[in-house]
Each structure stands twice: as structure tokens, then as C-alpha cells.
């Protein structure tokens, strides 16, 4: 698949959050979103072609492919695109998106 693809997959596996919703539509292939539960444990969600997932702003998550190592996904945005992942760290827990998410949990 190439080093750019491999680097991108590795980057997505780092635990992070976004300040806006992450909306993904799976065009082809399969993969997994791991999200943190209220108890701070991983919950694995399998995605296949045709699936749509919406992760709320402020939820810690990561992504990986299945054993076939192939997925084609489209990211959708409600507003101006924000692509910045914020890797898990104590200072990230205090940003407004994280605080709002935790208050709803």
C-alpha cells in the first residue's frame, strides 16, 4: 500500500480526540474504531463497507484496519473542516470539547 498509507494508519491508532464530530462513511474495506467507555475502557466497533459512524466531539478514540489492511473511508463535516487530532494528555482533558463530552456521559 505504500509508506504514506502505513504512516497514516499508524497515526490514526494513536489515542486522540477532535474538537468537532468525526463523521466517517466506509466506502470499501473494513476496520475498527476503538472508543473509550465511561469507565475509560476500550469498546471496539467494527465497520464495513456502507457503515456510517458519528463520534461526538471530545471522545477519545483510535482507528485501525482489519487483517486485510485496507479501508477506504470518507470523512464528512458539518462546518468548516477541522482535521487536527489532539493526542491524549492531561492538558487535553481540560479543553471545552472534552469537558462538554464528559459532562454528558
Cβ neighbours of 47 (radius 10 Å):
20
Place 5 in a pLDDT band, splitting at 50, 70 and 90: low
Q: How far is CA 53 from the centre of its chain?
A: 9
pLDDT in tens, 54-85: 999 999 999 999 999 999 999 999 888 877 89
- pTM for the whole structure: 0.87
Strands (E) across the chain are located at 16-17, 22-36, 42-48, 52-55, 61-65, 71-76, 86-87
> Cell numbers 471496539 label which residue?
44
What are the b/e assignments for 86-99, b being 16+ CB within 10 Å?
Answer: bebeeebeeeebbe
Amino acid at each position: 500500500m505504500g509508506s504514506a498509507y502505513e504512516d497514516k494508519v499508524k497515526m490514526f491508532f494513536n489515542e486522540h480526540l477532535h474538537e468537532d464530530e468525526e463523521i466517517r462513511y466506509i466506502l470499501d474495506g473494513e476496520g475498527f474504531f476503538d472508543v473509550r467507555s465511561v469507565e475509560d475502557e476500550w469498546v471496539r466497533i467494527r465497520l464495513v463497507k456502507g457503515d456510517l459512524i458519528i463520534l461526538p466531539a471530545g471522545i477519545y478514540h483510535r482507528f485501525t484496519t482489519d487483517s486485510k489492511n485496507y479501508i477506504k473511508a470518507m470523512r464528512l463535516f458539518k462546518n468548516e473542516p477541522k482535521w487536527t487530532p489532539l493526542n491524549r494528555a492531561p492538558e487535553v482533558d481540560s479543553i471545552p470539547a472534552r469537558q462538554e463530552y464528559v459532562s454528558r456521559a
